[in-house]
């Protein structure tokens, strides 16, 4: 069967974008084409012979109108195959009247346009906030006008996909208790920006924790150095995520941080023995009768010099309850030290056959009070 003669009619720069070497070879097997010819003007006398033999036009952006004069130069024309969406810019009444076979990529393009539009809508809703605690004056949180104190993010409700970035090489004093929750696949991220040492969040003896998330889901915390230093040891923690209300929470990831110099309570005896159970570098807490955590990941953190313990799941032990969890998995390959009191001596990680070895991070798929 003879192959039809095809001519490409479009903006010349589009041909190599639409037809790579493999596509050109396939096209050559289906139709007779001139690999060097791309028509932009039906009235060009140099292409009259090619148009006279053309049976198929492969069109794209900037294809001129198929009016009566153009059609008169293509007596063998039978089909128009458009590589884009709408053909209204070049298909005239005269072309439709010829009874040409017309196809387009409108369906495929509609999917791409919809996906692009959705991506732009989602992207427009995501904001990156910057904190530079070495800045002389407080700004709006943009990269050119960063916030310069922890009171700014503490008073802000973050949304899914937002990022809170701390400038590398700086130290912020106080506690970080941001509000809001992310969503599955679109968490709120706390991380560093710029080059240099990890940014330091220094609690300075905060009574609860330096970084504290309460009844919040889908947060990722990475790349920070978190401290809670004090000359007096007491109930102190570095990073604490907590379920206090009745709603379930999920999607917490704490990875790649250094948590150090937390002045936690290290004595399990005496008047303040209960403080030991609430002193750790990284802690996951659920209140008695509260909702549960569905998915908490604590991996590849360097935790040291934290007093009461390295990392700890907590419940309201003052009411005689320990946290219960299902499917806790150890993750190998971490470089993590958990100096201070060992949780295993408290029995907190021995339930359901899970062992705690101090130097391994853990993931809790479900934890409740």
Q: In this model, does residue 350 exceed pLDDT 60?
A: no
Half-sphere exposure of 123 (CA within 13 A, CB side): 6
* Cα distance between residue 204 and residue 213, in whole Å: 18
Q: What's residue 137's pLDDT?
A: 96
Strands 366-368 and 324-326: antiparallel
Rg (CA), the chain: 32
Q: What's residue 310's pLDDT?
A: 64
| Closest-CA residue to 161 (of 108, 125, 119) | 125
Q: What's residue 139's pLDDT?
A: 95
The band of 123, judged by pLDDT with boundaries at 50, 70 and 90, is: low
* Cα distance between residue 39 and residue 21, in whole Å: 20
The token pair that represents 36 in the structure block: 């060097």
Strands 329-330 and 362-364: antiparallel
The CATH number given to 6-117 is 3.40.50.720
Which residues are CB-contacts of 271 (< 8 A; sequence separation ≥ 6)? Answer: none
| Closest-CA residue to 286 (of 348, 197, 360) | 348
Q: What's residue 130's pLDDT?
A: 97
Residue 196, burial from CB neighbour count under 10 angstroms (0-12, 13-18, 19+): exposed
Residue 112 CB neighbours (<10 A): 11
Q: In this model, does residue 323 exceed pLDDT 50?
A: no
* Cα distance between residue 128 and residue 126, in whole Å: 7
The token pair that represents 284 in the structure block: 């996951």
Q: In this model, does residue 288 exceed pLDDT 70?
A: yes
Q: What's residue 118's pLDDT?
A: 76
Percent of residues in the chain assigned helix, strand, coil, to nearest 5: 20, 30, 50
The tens digit of pLDDT for each residue in 54-109 reads 999 999 999 999 999 999 999 999 999 999 888 999 999 999 999 999 999 888 77
Q: What's residue 295's pLDDT?
A: 82
Q: What's residue 315's pLDDT?
A: 53
The mean pLDDT of the chain is 82
Which residues are CB-contacts of 202 (< 8 A; sequence separation ≥ 6)? Answer: 171, 172, 173, 174, 210, 227, 228, 229
> Do you know the residue count of the chain?
369
Q: In this model, does residue 121 exceed pLDDT 80?
A: no
Q: CB–CB of 354/313 below 8 Å?
A: no
| Mean pLDDT (whole number) for 148-164 | 94
| Closest-CA residue to 37 (of 60, 14, 54, 12) | 12
33 or 123: which leads in pLDDT: 33
| Mean pLDDT (whole number) for 249-268 | 88
Q: CB–CB of 243/290 below 8 Å?
A: yes
Q: What's residue 369's pLDDT?
A: 46
321 or 110: which leads in pLDDT: 110
| Mean pLDDT (whole number) for 29-56 | 94
DSSP reduced 3-state for 283 = strand
Which residues are CB-contacts of 57 (< 8 A; sequence separation ≥ 6)? Answer: 6, 7, 8, 9, 63, 66, 74, 77, 79, 80, 81
319 — phi, psi (to 5°)?
-105, 15
Q: In this model, does residue 131 exceed pLDDT 80?
A: yes
Angle value at C-alpha 338, between 182 and 276, nearest 5 degrees: 85
Residue 103 CB neighbours (<10 A): 11
Q: What's residue 122's pLDDT?
A: 65
Q: In this model, does residue 158 exceed pLDDT 50?
A: yes
Domain residues of the chain, as ranges? 6-117, 127-368
Q: What's residue 46's pLDDT?
A: 92
Q: What's residue 309's pLDDT?
A: 65
- Distance, first Cα to last Cα, the chain: 76
- In eight-state DSSP terms, residue 209 is E
The tens digit of pLDDT for each residue in 211-258 reads 999 999 999 999 999 999 988 888 788 999 999 999 999 999 999 999
Q: CB–CB of 96/108 below 8 Å?
A: no
Q: CB–CB of 43/18 below 8 Å?
A: no
Q: What's residue 95's pLDDT?
A: 94
**Range name among 116-130, 220-234, 282-296 with the lowest pLDDT average:** 116-130
The band of 33, judged by pLDDT with boundaries at 50, 70 and 90, is: very high
């Amino acid at each position: 069967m003879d192959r039809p003669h095809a001519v490409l009619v479009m903006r010349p720069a589009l041909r190599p974008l639409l037809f790579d070497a493999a596509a050109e070879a396939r096209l050559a097997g289906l139709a007779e084409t001139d690999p060097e010819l791309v028509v932009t003007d039906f009235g060009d006398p140099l292409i009259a012979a090619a148009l006279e033999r053309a049976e198929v036009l492969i069109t794209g952006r900037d294809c001129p109108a198929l009016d009566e004069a153009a059609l008169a130069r293509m007596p063998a024309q039978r089909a128009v195959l458009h590589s884009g969406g709408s053909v209204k810019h070049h298909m005239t009444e005269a072309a439709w009247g010829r009874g040409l076979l017309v196809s387009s990529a409108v369906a495929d393009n509609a999917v791409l346009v919809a996906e692009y539009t959705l991506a732009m809508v989602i992207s427009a809703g995501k904001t990156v906030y910057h904190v530079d605690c070495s800045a002389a004056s407080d700004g709006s949180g943009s990269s050119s006008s960063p916030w310069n104190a922890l009171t700014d993010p503490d008073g802000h409700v973050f949304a899914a996909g937002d990022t809170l970035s701390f400038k590398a090489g700086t130290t912020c004093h106080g506690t970080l208790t941001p509000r809001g929750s992310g969503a599955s696949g679109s968490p709120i991220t706390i991380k560093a920006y710029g080059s240099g040492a990890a940014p330091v969040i220094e609690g300075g003896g905060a009574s609860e924790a330096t970084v504290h998330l309460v009844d919040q889901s889908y947060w990722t915390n990475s790349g920070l150095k978190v401290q809670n230093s004090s000359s007096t040891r007491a109930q102190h923690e570095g990073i604490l995520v907590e379920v206090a209300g009745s709603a379930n929470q999920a999607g917490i990831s704490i990875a790649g941080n250094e948590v150090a110099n937390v002045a936690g309570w290290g004595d399990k005896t005496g008047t303040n023995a209960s403080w030991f159970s609430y002193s750790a570098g990284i802690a996951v807490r659920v209140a008695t009768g509260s909702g549960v955590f569905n998915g908490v990941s604590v991996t590849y953190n360097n935790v040291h010099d934290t007093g009461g313990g390295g990392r700890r799941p907590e419940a309201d032990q003052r009411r005689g309850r320990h946290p219960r969890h299902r499917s806790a998995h150890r993750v190998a390959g971490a470089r993590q030290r958990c100096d201070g009191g060992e949780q295993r001596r408290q029995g907190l990680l021995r339930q359901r056959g899970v062992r705690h070895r101090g130097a391994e991070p853990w993931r809790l798929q479900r934890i409740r009070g």
